[in-house]
Chains A and B, each alone.
Chain A
Amino acid sequence: MTVQSLYLWIPLLPLFAATVVGLFGRQLPRASAHWLTIAGVAASFALSVCVFMDALQGNVFNGAVYTWLTSGGNRFEVGFLIDRLTATMMVVVTFVSLMVHVYTIGYMAEDPGYSRFFSYISLFTFSMLMLVMSNNFMQLFFGWEAVGLVSYLLIGFWYKRPTAIYANLKAFLVNRVGDFGFLLGIGMVLYYLGSLDYAAVFSIAPQFADATVELIPGSPWSLMTVICILLFIGAMGKSAQVPLHVWLPDSMEGPTPISALIHAATMVTAGIFMVARMSPLYELSSTALSFVLVIGAITALFMGFLGIIQHDIKRVVAYSTLSQLGYMTVALGVSAYSVAIFHLMTHAFFKALLFLGAGSVIMGMHHDQDMRNMGGLRKYMPITWITSLIGSLALIGTPLFSGFYSKDSIIEAVKFSNITGSGFAYFAVLAGVFVTAFYSFRMYFLVFHGKEKWMQQADHGHDLHHAHEKHEHADDTDDSHDEHHHGLGPNDKPHESPWVVTLPLVLLAIPSVIIGYVAIDLMVFGDYFKDVIYVDHQQHGAMQELAHHFHGAGAMALHGLTSLPFILAASGVALAWFFYMKRPDIPAAIKARCGLIYRILDNKYGFDSFNEKFLAGGSRFLGDKLWQIGDVKLIDGLLVNGSARLVAHIAGLVRRLQTGLVYHYAFAMIIGAFLLLTVFMKI
């Protein structure tokens, strides 16, 4: 049996499990939901490892599965491109998915939608695999939207909660804005480059490096810049880059396992993956790369700030995800694609770990997510505590941890880059390190150390996390409906989670520590991505420069201890310790003093209210006016019913002529005869 014959099974097994559980979940015993889906994704993971091993040998597969559609000489196929980039993504996706499947057994144990949930996450695994395994833009778009669908279904999983069904609609629509650009980009690719097949597009693209298009007559723009920016708009939606980031924090309404899987580890990195995949196109446009870089830098820094003021434990991790996605995007912008993928991978492990750790805390707190009610949990939840610490250390870039290697490489790459915007980006990523360290350890200290605050908060604990959500829902105040959100009772103590929850934590903690050390040499500086990722070293030399300065993973860690990012991170941790352990009065004082800044942060820079008021409200206003004035008044009122009234009116007038009196008719006849005579006499 060859490796090629395995490919199809990898996405199909989770799809099969999802279908069976989705359709017959009610008839089957409860446990079969997790056994079936776990078997599917575990097999998929095992096969992915086989494929990965094969790809390590340097084998590449590019072929069609079936022809989806032909039209006018265009052939749209469903097919796979399996190279090292794909194989890496496949292993990461299936591994994290497997961990999340196991974890879900514990997390969703009491949920009435148990089998539905498993069906969805398996469906997600299928969609994500179709996305990364694709060898063409059409299938990429299919996977792209399919993961969006599952994300929609899962954010709204608790469909009774007004906030959840607000968040999932918002997530879908914001992603659709991104997909709008993405689809136009695909259209441009097909029109100008003549195909949607990656291989064909990449091989022909260099011929169009200097081509221009006049979208606005008279102003020629570089074709590649237009294509790349349009495609990147898609990535901005999916990977939550400013200003299309607004959906991600709200997506935390979904159950925590999917926050880990979809909104941290895999789906949101699809945009990063896509740009790395398209490196042969992006390398042709420095303008597009600068655009990518600046957007990424803004996201990396400014979303980090928002993490500082959150009280909901999941939202802190969510903003941290936004910020880290910004880092990956920055790496793409400076043509360090392999570093971006590297950070994507390490981030997948430690961020999934952090989210699942947060979920474990939430379970221990009986579904209370407010950090102000926590504290001192390390005594009650030791495994969660240690693994969360590992995750946090990896996130802030502590030398030797995986996050250090990837994040430090990004910062260095930006330093060596001379593309437009790299100065600003360098500042942003450096400052971001400090901010990351600060909010991460703020969370860590508030949750695991300090006073045990659930005692005094127990009575009103659970409604706090709703308080700072400014959704425009009149009915947003009730949370009596979700029996899930009750918080700890007066005599309850937090408790460690069952093994199905802690096992994935431990299994994720291992790569969070070591994967950076193990993989950096090969993935970033080796020829791992040779023939997959293309970099124009003449134009964008940052990667070459970076490789020049690299002398092994050990030396890098040692050097890291004295470098600026580490000092920044350490001071961030120190400040968090000082503020939240030593002098808890200081943050309150700062909050009181800097009311304006606090309000700006609290309103998330006003994106939400702008979107809600102007974009959503504006559309509704416009729709209403077009309907009431256009359809009802003008077309129906004036033209349709108006013409009917006109006919009736004229008929009414004409009717009066029919008086029924003979002398009226006789008079008219005489006048008529006179007139006719006059006319004929003249001729």
Chain B
Amino acid sequence: MNDLPILSLSIWVPIVAGILVLFTGGDNNASRARWLALLGSIAGFAVTVPLYLGFDVQNGGFQFVERLQWIPAFNIQYHLGVDGIAVPLILLTSFTTFLVVLAGWEVIQKRVAQYMAAFLIMSGIMIGVFSALDAILYYIFWEAMLIPMFLVIGIWGGPNRVYATIKFFLYTLLGSLLMLVAFIYLYHQSGTFDIAEYYRMPLALSVQIWIFIAFFLAFAVKIPMWPVHTWLPDAHVEAPTGGSVVLAAIALKLGGYSFLRFAMPIAPDASHYLSGFMITLSLIAVVYIALVALVQKDMKKLIAYSSISHMGFVTLGFFLFNPLGLEGAIVQMISHGFISSAMFLSVGVLYDRMHSRQIADYGGVGNTMPVFTAFAVLFAMANAGLPGTSGFVGEFLVILGAVQVNFWYAFLAATTLIFGAAYTLWMVKRVYYGEVANPQVAELKDINRREFFILGLLAILVLGFGIYPQPITEITHATVGHLLEHMALSKLPPL
């Protein structure tokens, strides 16, 4: 279809750029490292754009496919390809990387080259996760992603970073190992690591359930779903701003995406069988976590819990098995990428100036930082799902989809309208409104041009996709239709 291996470029351009950045050496060359990283991230974004422009929206299958033999002895291939679900996530990844590089510009003064390189390499690896069609290739990318994130939190993180990194690492690694077991089992049955082959393979229900559970543990940790979510608030609190942004905007989506790529199509009967369980966990995330978010005293923790609650909508949407729910979930993933980035960047703006994330240390920021406050209120409203912002679209569709399955699912999900607004706007009230709370707040300087540019870009995206979300859903239609058709067919072996 295309002569250029666009997916390979999407993966390897940022990774190579990251390695080049590493070669700039110590902090004496910091400015060279920054510019090189910026160029790399722009190039990394540029090579992903053709994926959107060249995508055939009528085609529900894999596009931009690349296939090379890798380890013939085990029939492992370098096999890449994307569908309508992966493309928006890949663009989100390359775009977020650009933002993160820019956001760390002056903030990071220590080991600049390594910092920038970690994010560029991570970007390539995550795009690899979104485009791998070979189970082993996917697994390698999936696990490799842990390493740069581990380093980012461990080196540039906060005081309690060791606990957070170990928790993050063990949590996610434990889940993933079972996924590897599932892959090995599937390989044994089929003799291949080709994911498309797994889609066609008949499997008994009991087998499907085991496979589903193995996948579930890996992906649920990543998303994260209740009750395996407690690593996320800790990781966010300790991570530097850029780490939080990537974690929230993309890393969580790896889990969501993988449900659609593996757990659901490989084990459709088990997915149906366990859908009540999945929906229950999702609704617990929506309601329980929202209540927990309400009482957080640390801004990053609050946003972290808010992320978990919003990701509850994603998993809820998946397991409704209707187009509204599924497309809503996908839109929610993209939108959450923008909004959570914006929220964490906003906390970063404050943290860089005050070195505190405690809500109680703030108050009346609007007096000294009016422009920044306008952005913060906009993003808060988007986080609360206000129509006209992208935050609304996904929740709206998932709730509409939920009504069609069970009114009470929708009822519980819709409580986010109240609780989501409560925890977000209560924070806004305590941080931005009111009299100047203390001398530190009185001395705050409003955002500079670089910060304005980053937040402005996100604001345009948040509003743009709120007013016109069709570009996201259009690209997913065929794939979602394809997936739902596939899910409707039983994969049980003929008796």
Residues of chain A touching chain B, judged by Cβ–Cβ distance below 8 Å, are 66-74, 138, 141-142, 144-146, 149, 152-153, 156, 159-160, 162, 165-166, 169, 172-173, 176-177, 179-180, 183-184, 186-188, 190-191, 213, 215, 481, 619-620, 622-624, 626-627, 630-631, 635-636, 639-640, 644
Q: Could you mark each residue 397-430 of chain B with 1 if its beta carbon is under 8 Å from any beta carbon of chain A, else 0? A: 1011011100110110011011101100110010
Q: What are 22 A-B pairs with beta-carbon distances under 8 A?
A: A70-B473, A72-B327, A72-B480, A145-B388, A152-B425, A160-B435, A173-B421, A176-B418, A180-B414, A184-B407, A187-B410, A188-B403, A190-B400, A619-B291, A627-B292, A627-B296, A630-B292, A631-B292, A635-B230, A636-B230, A640-B171, A640-B231
Q: Which residues of A contact B167 (CB under 8 A)?
A: 640
Q: Which residue of A lies closest to B428 (CB)?
A: A169
Given A145-B387, A624-B295, answer yes or no on A71-B323 (Cβ-Cβ < 8 Å).
yes
Q: Which residues of B contact A145 (CB under 8 A)?
A: 386-388, 392
Q: Which residue of B lies closest to A190 (CB)?
A: B400
Q: Which residues of B contact A152 (CB under 8 A)?
A: 425
Assess whether B375 is interfacial by the CB under 8 Å rule: no
Is the beta-carbon distance between B291 and A622 smaller than 8 angstroms?
A: yes
Is the beta-carbon distance between B403 and A187 smaller than 8 angstroms?
A: yes
Q: Which residues of A contact B393 (CB under 8 A)?
A: 69
Q: Is the interface of A mostly helix, strand, loop or mixed?
A: helix
- Given A71-B327, A74-B400, A141-B396, 18 more A-B residue pairs with CB atoms under 8 Å apart are A66-B468, A71-B323, A71-B397, A142-B388, A145-B388, A146-B386, A152-B425, A165-B434, A173-B425, A177-B418, A180-B418, A183-B399, A183-B417, A184-B414, A187-B410, A623-B291, A626-B288, A640-B230
Is the beta-carbon distance between B323 and A626 smaller than 8 angstroms?
A: no
Alpha-carbon gap, A596 to B470, bound state (A): 59
Alpha-carbon gap, A128 to B291, bound state (A): 32
Q: Which residues of A contact B419 (CB under 8 A)?
A: 619
Assess whether B356 is interfacial by the CB under 8 Å rule: no
Across chains A and B, the number of contacting residue pairs, with CB separation under 8 Å, is 141
Q: Residue among B323, B324, B433, B480 with the most chain A CB within 10 A?
A: B433
Assess whether B253 is interfacial by the CB under 8 Å rule: no
Alpha-carbon gap, A71 to B484, bound state (A): 13
Q: Which residue of A lies closest to B174 (CB)?
A: A643
Is the beta-carbon distance between A162 and B434 smaller than 8 angstroms?
A: yes
Alpha-carbon gap, A644 to B293, bound state (A): 26
Is the beta-carbon distance between B469 and A68 smaller than 8 angstroms?
A: yes
Alpha-carbon gap, A644 to B174, bound state (A): 13
Chain B: minimal CB distance from A517 (Å): 40
Interface residues on B, range: 35 or more
Q: Could you mark each residue 167-193 of chain B with 1 if its beta carbon is under 8 Å from any beta carbon of chain A, else 0? A: 100110000000000000000000000
Assess whether B261 is interfacial by the CB under 8 Å rule: no
Alpha-carbon gap, A180 to B411, bound state (A): 8
**Chain B stretch 457-495: residues in CB contact (< 8 A) with chain A:** 467-470, 473-474, 477, 480
Is the beta-carbon distance between A169 and B388 smaller than 8 angstroms?
A: no
Alpha-carbon gap, A179 to B417, bound state (A): 8
Q: Which residues of A contact B477 (CB under 8 A)?
A: 70-71
Query: Which of A149, A156, A180, A635 meets B417, CB within 8 Å?
Result: A180
Chain A: minimal CB distance from B399 (Å): 6
Assess whether B275 is interfacial by the CB under 8 Å rule: no
Is the beta-carbon distance between A623 and B295 smaller than 8 angstroms?
A: yes
Is the beta-carbon distance between B324 and A72 smaller than 8 angstroms?
A: yes
Query: Which of A169, A623, A624 meets B425, CB within 8 Å?
Result: A169
Query: Which of B227, B399, B421, B435 meets A172, CB within 8 Å?
Result: B421
Is the beta-carbon distance between B387 and A69 smaller than 8 angstroms?
A: no
Is the beta-carbon distance between A146 and B387 smaller than 8 angstroms?
A: yes
Q: Which residue of A lies closest to B477 (CB)?
A: A70
Query: Which of B323, B417, B432 meets A73, CB within 8 Å?
Result: B323
Q: Which residues of A contact B386 (CB under 8 A)?
A: 145-146, 149
Given A69-B469, A215-B408, A640-B167, answer yes or no on A159-B434 (Cβ-Cβ < 8 Å).
yes
**Chain B stretch 320-355: residues in CB contact (< 8 A) with chain A:** 322-324, 327-328
Given A70-B470, A71-B397, A188-B403, answer yes or no on A159-B414 (Cβ-Cβ < 8 Å).
no
Q: Which residues of A contact B407 (CB under 8 A)?
A: 184, 188, 213, 215
Q: Could you mark each residue 370-406 of chain B with 1 if its beta carbon is under 8 Å from any beta carbon of chain A, else 0? A: 0000000100010000111000110011011011100
Chain A: minimal CB distance from B384 (Å): 8
Query: Which of B230, B292, B474 meets A626, CB within 8 Å?
Result: B292
Is the beta-carbon distance between B402 and A187 smaller than 8 angstroms?
A: yes
Chain A: minimal CB distance from B455 (Å): 14
Chain B: minimal CB distance from A87 (Å): 24
Is the beta-carbon distance between A173 and B418 smaller than 8 angstroms?
A: yes
Q: Which residue of B lies closest to A71 (CB)?
A: B327
Assess whether B266 is interfacial by the CB under 8 Å rule: no
Is the beta-carbon distance between A160 and B434 smaller than 8 angstroms?
A: yes
Is the beta-carbon distance between B411 and A71 smaller than 8 angstroms?
A: no
Q: Which residues of A contact B366 (CB under 8 A)?
A: 159
Assess whether B279 is interfacial by the CB under 8 Å rule: no
Is the beta-carbon distance between A173 and B403 smaller than 8 angstroms?
A: no
Assess whether B265 is interfacial by the CB under 8 Å rule: no
Is the beta-carbon distance between A67 and B470 smaller than 8 angstroms?
A: yes
Q: Which residues of A contact B288 (CB under 8 A)?
A: 626, 630
Assess whether B24 is interfacial by the CB under 8 Å rule: no
Q: Which residue of B lies closest to A141 (CB)?
A: B387
Q: Which residues of B contact A144 (CB under 8 A)?
A: 387
Chain B: minimal CB distance from A676 (Å): 31
Assess whether B59 is interfacial by the CB under 8 Å rule: no
Q: Which residues of A contact B469 (CB under 8 A)?
A: 68-69
Is the beta-carbon distance between B381 and A149 smaller than 8 angstroms?
A: yes
Chain B: minimal CB distance from A130 (Å): 9
Q: Could you mark each residue 14-55 of chain B with 1 if its beta carbon is under 8 Å from any beta carbon of chain A, else 0? A: 000000000000000000000000000000000000000000
Chain A: minimal CB distance from B57 (Å): 11
Alpha-carbon gap, A152 to B380, bound state (A): 13
Q: Which residues of A contact B280 (CB under 8 A)?
A: none
Given A149-B386, A187-B402, answer yes or no on A160-B367 (Cβ-Cβ < 8 Å).
yes
